[in-house]
Amino acid sequence: MAFIQIIEYQTSRLEEVEALGRKFREESAEATGAAKPLRGTVTADQDRTGYYLSIVEFESAEAAMEASNRPATQAFFGQLAALMDGPPKFYNLGVVDTWEMS
C-alpha cells in the first residue's frame, strides 16, 4: 500500500529550509540501493503565515521507515529541526484511494 507522510512545521527561515532540502535531495539521489520517496511537495498554509506542510510519498510504510532510519536522513532532520520555530507534527498515512479528474 502506498504511504504518505505529512510534516507540519513553522519557520521564519524558509529559504534556508528550501536550500537544505535541495542539498539533501541531491545527495540522496546519488545513494544507490537506499529507499527514497517517490515525490515530495512543500506547501504554505494560506491561513497561517510561517506554517508549512511537506507532503512526502513513498511506495509503502516499510520504504518510509527504511528511508527515515538512514543516518543521512537523521542528520538532515537534525539540521532541519534547527531551522524550525517549534517542534514539527507528523502525520503518517496509508493511502486508501487516489483519483484524478480528467
| pLDDT tens-place string over residues 24-56 | 988 887 776 678 899 999 999 999 999 999 999
C-alpha grid cell, residue 28: 540522496
- State mean pLDDT over 5-14: 97
Strands 51-58 and 39-44 turn out to be antiparallel
Q: What pLDDT does residue 29 have?
A: 76
**φ and ψ of 73, to 5 deg:** -70, -40
Task: Decide: helix, strand or coil at residue 84.
Answer: coil
Which residue ranges form the domains of the chain, and what is each CATH number? 3-94 (3.30.70.100)
Q: What pLDDT does residue 32 have?
A: 67
Strands 39-44 and 3-10 turn out to be unpaired
Predicted model pTM: 0.88
